[in-house]
Amino acid sequence: MIVDPSKIWPVIIGMAIGTFFVRYSFLGLLGDRELPEWFLRHLRYVGVAVLPGLIAPLILWPQATGGTPDLARIMATITAVTIGIWKKSVIGAVLLGFGTLYLVQYITG
């Protein structure tokens, strides 16, 4: 797909300005201020709340399989979550999740 540069550059510049202001709102305006304890407590849960929303569609309806659930991805997810909760190890969960994904894909063809 060839996109006309006169159409793509305004989009790129607009996205850059938008991302700058989103980041500046926290770093520039609030960076040197003490935030209330209740705000910091809620801010700790942002990653935990957002990450499953980003990952769940990739597990349940992966584009690689045409949107149908895949045994390998579901098994890898179960393995990664189990190791993550049991051992409290992010690296272990990622490595064993990858290992399970590729092993189940190899076994099932």
In this prediction, residue 35 has a pLDDT band, given cuts at 50, 70 and 90, of confident
Average per-residue pLDDT for the chain: 91
Question: Residue 78 — φ and ψ, nearest 5°?
Answer: -60, -40
pLDDT surpassing 80 at residue 1: no
Residue 9, Cβ neighbours under 10 Å: how many? 11
> What is the predicted pLDDT for the residue at 32?
80
Helices (H), 1-109: 5-30, 37-43, 46-60, 71-87, 90-108
Does the pTM of the predicted model rise above 0.75? no
Give tens-digit pLDDT for 42-91: 989 998 889 888 989 989 888 888 888 899 999 999 999 999 999 999 99
